[in-house]
Structure 1
Amino acid sequence: MDTSCLQYSLTEEERRTFNETGYLIMENALSPEQVKALTAEVDRIHDRKLKEGQDPQKAMFYTDFVKDHQLFLDLVDYDKVLPKVWGILGWNIYMYHTHLIVTPPSGQEKSDKTFGWHQDSGRANLEMESHPRPRLSLKVAYFLSDLSEPGRGNFWIVPNSHIQDTMPLSETGVGQPEGAIPVCVKPGTAVFFDRRLWHAASTNWSDITRKVLFYGYGYRWIRRKDDMTMDGLLEKSDPIRRQMLGDGLNCNGYYTPTDGDVPLKVWMREQGLQV
């Protein structure tokens, strides 16, 4: 990695914000040119899925998209974002999950029906014996469409809820949890969020199609969440990107890594960073 990425290192204020609220918003993470180019590739994938039978009025949830274009691959170790990821999780990390979502206008009338509130990681929330639940991972969401107003299929969150193991929901199925807010952001914004943060997708009541990319980062001893296609990706990647893609010397190296397993740690040490 180029040392210029260190200008984007996690600040103490950002660390405090993330630790206290469970999320962090980074405006202008992507340039207008990046947003335009990434949107074109997302549209291409969406058009292909429509031809394959995707319902045009339903959200498209598409995993394993990094293989589809170099632009997606370049975000795996994006210099403006990865320093903040390792600032939160440390150096023994990789990208364990990706998905993109395209949410077209629903054509539905606006309602206050309770959304599908959840924490990420499925069974981990039931089978790990701790309180509060461990962080384990985070996601970075890159927003490509204008979600600066609510009602556009916005991602909803309950700030500060990442240390709550349960979330009281309406018994009538109407209304959102106390403190719930829509994340209203402009194109090019990156939102980092703790996998424990209670969040939900919402209906798109607008005439704007919502487009967002999600990159999930976790500890290297966590299994992948998707069947990721790595054919050809590792061969054209540098060591740190290979680590982010899940490469390693052997299975034990995911639990007890040597320098050869974690080139990010080696690079950080060379820059005089604490490891």
Structure 2
Amino acid sequence: MEQTCLQYALTEEERKAFEETGYLIVENALSPEHVAALTNEVDRIFDENVKAGHDTTKALFHPNFIPDHEMFLDLVDYEKILPKVWGILGWNIYLYHAHMIVTPPTGQQPTDKTFGWHQDSGRMNVEMESEPRPRMSIKVAYFLSDLTEAGRGNFWIVPNSHLNNSMNRPESGSGQLEGAIPVCVKPGTAVFFDRRLWHSASPNWSDITRKVLFYGYGYRWIRTKDDMTVQSLWSKADPIRRQLLGAGTNCNGYYTPTEEDVPLREWLKEYSPSQVK
């Protein structure tokens, strides 16, 4: 990892916005050329799934995509984004979850049916006792499609809802949560969001296919959320990338890490000591 990444560190303004709203939008995180190259690989994977029987009117949820191409792997420690991730969560982190979503047009007319609103992490939201529940993890979504208009399968959120353990849903089953908005962004945008932020996918009523890459970062003592096979990439990765791909010296090292377990901490001690706690 190069010291040049520090120019993309989380600013105090960004920290404040994320803490208050539960999300952060970073425009131009990916160049148009980068978006085009990633889109080619996403299209290839989607076409392979279609040939295997995937219904083209339904969204493709494709986890464990990091080993599918080196470009996906390179985003794990992407210099424009990773400094903001550790700025929010700290240094004892790794990629605990990753999934690609391709949402083709449904061919249906828009409705006001209530979306599937939720917080991430499943049982974590039932079994943790605090109010609000702890953050634990965040996601970074890289948008490859033009979602500057609503109705294109946009990701919906309720800003400032991440500190609420529950939300009132419309009893009629129509309409969205109070304060809900679609995230309308251009290709190349990265959106950070707290796992507790109330959010939902939405139907794609447009003629544009929505393509997004999600990278979930959490503390190293959290289990992976999908059957990741990134262990095969450890041998060719540098120390910090190995940490982010889940490597460690032993089980206890995830809870009480040594220098070998968390090279990111050692790197920060040398180049940005103010970020080490």
TM exceeding 0.5: yes
Question: CA separation in 2, counterparts of 1:47 and 1:118?
Answer: 29
1:176 matched residue in structure 2:
176
2:203 matched residue in structure 1:
203
SS of match in other structure, 1:15: helix
2:264 matched residue in structure 1:
264
Question: CA separation in 2, counterparts of 1:92 and 1:222?
Answer: 11
Question: CA separation in 2, counterparts of 1:135 and 1:18?
Answer: 12
Consecutive aligned runs of 4 or more in structure 1 exceeding 3 Å deviation: none
Q: Deviations over 1:72-102 (max 9, x none)?
A: 0000000000000000000000000000000
Question: CA separation in 2, counterparts of 1:41 and 1:236?
Answer: 21
2:203 corresponds to which letter in structure 1? T
Question: CA separation in 2, counterparts of 1:209 and 1:267?
Answer: 40
Instruction: Please identify, of 232-241 and 175-184, the stretch whose mean Cα deviation from structure 2 is larger.
Output: 232-241
Contact 2:135 2:195 in 1 (8 A): yes
User: What RMSD, in angstroms, separates the aligned Cα atoms of the two structures?
Assistant: 0.6
Question: CA separation in 2, counterparts of 1:76 and 1:241?
Answer: 8
Q: Does 1:29 align with 2:29?
A: yes
Question: CA separation in 2, counterparts of 1:81 and 1:18?
Answer: 14
Q: Deviations over 1:166-210 (max 9, x none)?
A: 011011100001100000000000000000000000000000000
1:79 corresponds to which letter in structure 2? E
Match runs of 1:49-88 below 5 Å? 49-88=49-88
SS of match in other structure, 2:162: helix
Match runs of 1:155-166 below 5 Å? 155-166=155-166
SS of match in other structure, 2:214: strand
Provide closer, same or farther for how the CA distance between residues 231 and 135 of structure 1 changes in structure 2, counting only shifts above 3 A: closer
Match runs of 1:1-275 below 5 Å? 1-274=1-274, 275=276
Superposed displacement of residue 60, structure 1 = 0.2
Question: CA separation in 2, counterparts of 1:94 and 1:231?
Answer: 13
Normalising by structure 2, report the TM-score.
0.98
2:194 corresponds to which letter in structure 1? D
Question: CA separation in 1, counterparts of 2:181 and 2:223?
Answer: 31
Question: CA separation in 2, counterparts of 1:232 and 1:215?
Answer: 18
Contact 2:159 2:180 in 1 (8 A): yes
Contact 2:231 2:245 in 1 (8 A): no
2:252 corresponds to which letter in structure 1? N
Question: CA separation in 1, counterparts of 2:235 and 2:40?
Answer: 26
Superposed displacement of residue 230, structure 1 = 2.3
2:50 corresponds to which letter in structure 1? L
Question: CA separation in 1, counterparts of 2:263 and 2:130?
Answer: 31
Superposed displacement of residue 41, structure 1 = 0.2
Q: Deviations over 1:120-178 (max 9, x none)?
A: 00000111111101000000000000000000000000000000000110111000011
Structure 2 residues not aligned, in runs of 5+:
none
Provide closer, same or farther for how the CA distance between residues 108 and 243 of structure 1 changes in structure 2, counting only shifts above 3 A: same
Superposed displacement of residue 273, structure 1 = 2.1
Superposed displacement of residue 231, structure 1 = 4.8
Superposed displacement of residue 232, structure 1 = 3.1
SS of match in other structure, 2:242: helix
Normalising by structure 1, report the TM-score.
0.99
Question: CA separation in 2, counterparts of 1:140 and 1:269?
Answer: 25
1:107 corresponds to which letter in structure 2? G
